[in-house]
Amino acid sequence: MNLPFLRIEGLMKRFPSPDGKPARPVFEGLSFDIERGRFVCIIGHSGCGKTTILNVLAGLEVPTSGNVFLAGRELSGPSLDRGVVFQSHALMPWLTVRGNVSFAVRSRHPDWSRARVDSHVERYIHMVGLTHALDLKPAQLSGGMRQRVGIARAFSIEPKMLLLDEPFGALDALTRGTIQEELRAIVRATEQTVFMITHDVDEAILLADEVLLMSNGPGARIAEIVEITLPTDRTRESLHHDPQYYRIRNHLVDFLVRRSRELSSPSETQFVPAGWRPPRVQPGLDPIS
């Protein structure tokens, strides 16, 4: 039997309560799979545990219960087989663009020669359009350029999976749009598997192959997985011309505005059976009512 590339089984996270009483889990009963080469976005209101899930996948957080398997092996702690890009670029200010990316590459390949490291680094910096800034330091770069360096650094270690925590949230709309297109092109070229947190519905529709929708916390769960049925060659300019776009967007917005709260109300709270997996839906292919 072929196992999925990433498998999450029964994931639950409970943080200690200040008063010492048992705290309700931030999320519980999370079980879902991600296939190799898929771009997956997760959307939900603040407090539902999206970043905690990403930190568990990165090995930076230990779940209270449940398991995560990547390429058939259980995850335990951070590893260079997962690249992470946070909302803050987290560059080392004393190093140049080349130096920041080289540091990651040398960590991955300590036996490589300097020439091989340089060639590898320059390839990924070129992919994010920063060849002209190779020898500049972070203080000499704009916010968007710094985030591009962070993306290049994450890709340069050639991880099995890329984890993105709202990487464009602090950028202006024009810069964000440009980097979204660059990220999409790089992911297509490298066939990278991506798990990304976003609050931007249009960003999710543009980038993702599927979108995980989380109910509100505490006790959040993944309510459903929305498959993005738009053409894979979609762009920001062409997106809104496809009639599927509006059906998908309306479905996501309706979940965030109405259904996420209904699922979290006391009358809707219910036990999640072990191994339960959220249903998959294709709103873009549903007939217009």
Look at residue 288 in the predicted model and tell me its pLDDT: 43
pLDDT in tens, the chain (289 residues): 577 899 999 999 988 877 777 678 889 889 999 999 999 999 998 888 999 999 999 999 999 999 999 998 998 888 888 999 887 778 999 999 999 999 999 999 999 999 999 999 999 999 888 999 999 999 999 988 998 899 999 999 989 999 999 888 777 888 888 888 888 888 888 889 999 999 999 999 999 999 999 998 888 889 999 999 998 888 888 888 888 999 999 999 999 988 877 776 544 445 566 667 888 999 877 544 3
Read off the tokens for 185. 């092109």
Cα distances from 118 to residues 113, 126, 205, in angstroms, run: 9, 12, 36
Look at residue 127 in the predicted model and tell me its pLDDT: 86
Measured CA to CA, the distance from residue 158 to residue 180 in angstroms comes to 19
Read off the tokens for 205. 């529709």
Look at residue 100 in the predicted model and tell me its pLDDT: 95
Domains assigned to the chain: 6-81+159-285 (3.40.50.300), 89-158 (no CATH)
The enclosing H or E element of 124 equals helix 114-127
Look at residue 233 in the predicted model and tell me its pLDDT: 86
Whether this prediction's pTM lies above 0.95 is answered by: no
What SS3 state is found at 159? coil
Look at residue 275 in the predicted model and tell me its pLDDT: 66
Q: Which residues pair with 82 in a beta bridge?
A: 161
Number of helices followed by number of strands (H, E) in the chain:
8, 11
Measured CA to CA, the distance from residue 27 to residue 49 in angstroms comes to 6
**Residue matched to tokens 């590898």:** 120
- Give the amino acid at 273: P
What SS3 state is found at 284? helix
Q: Please say whether the beta carbons of 50 and 213 come within 8 A.
A: no
